[in-house]
Amino acid sequence: MLNNGGMLLLFDIDGTLLRNASKRHAKALRVALGRVYGVGPESGGPEALPRVEAAGRTDLEIAREIALLCDVPAERFEDLRSELMSAWLREYAGLVEEDLSGRVVEGMADLLSDLAGMENVILSLVTGNLEGIAKVKLHRARLKSFFSPWQGGFGSDSEDRTDLPAIARKRAGALRGGGPYPRERTIVIGDTSRDIACARADGLRCIAVTTGPYGERDLTGADAVAKDVGQLRELLLAQLARMA
């Protein structure tokens, strides 16, 4: 085991831990929007729902934009937001494959296993996914056991992704019986510029990975960029050694 003063590693999910695992997530949103707000073909309407940029954004931010583009009043969206989240999780759990392990980025499961076995390392999440959806994804990808329960920052905690690292640090600190986990011992790992932006908003370091839709040139705002899990391992171990 690596003995150190402690490190909190906040992983994104889509594009970072998993590849190409968003199609049924998006399908579940379309169904849920139809059921709750009566928009789009899922509710019997003739028109397809508008497409919006999704990478790095929170689920509710995406859902709100689509709803507003479909002329759902902001007040009505807010009034039925809890119903939307429940419907979305229910639809996703029914649509997603039973086994998502084939979607795990190559080498990531081994890296998480090694990190989880290190003393004073907390593996947690900062993801735009609703918490329930995030947990279904990780369970079916056979990754859930690596992450401490009741931890992380999720798209159901705030629509603003920049809020999520502070939420995750607060929960990790509570796990240790204290205040928010220290910024200087926290690293965000993600694959989009929004992962980098949310880390910077909380004064955190960020390691970006090119396992998602963006290349190294798009991720220059990170402290370091890993082209694959092998490089990510090297970068994380170097940071952990400095904290020892």
Q: How far apart are CA 223 and CA 204, in angstroms?
A: 10
CATH class of 7-20+100-243: alpha beta
Domain-wise residue ranges, the chain: 7-20+100-243, 23-95
Tens-digit pLDDT profile for residues 160-205? 999 999 999 999 998 878 899 999 999 999 999 999 999 999 999 9
pTM: 0.92
Tens-digit pLDDT profile for residues 54-111? 888 999 999 999 999 999 999 999 999 999 999 999 999 999 999 999 999 999 999 9
Q: How far apart are CA 193 and CA 161, in angstroms?
A: 12
Helix axes 229-243, 108-116, angle to 10 degrees: 20
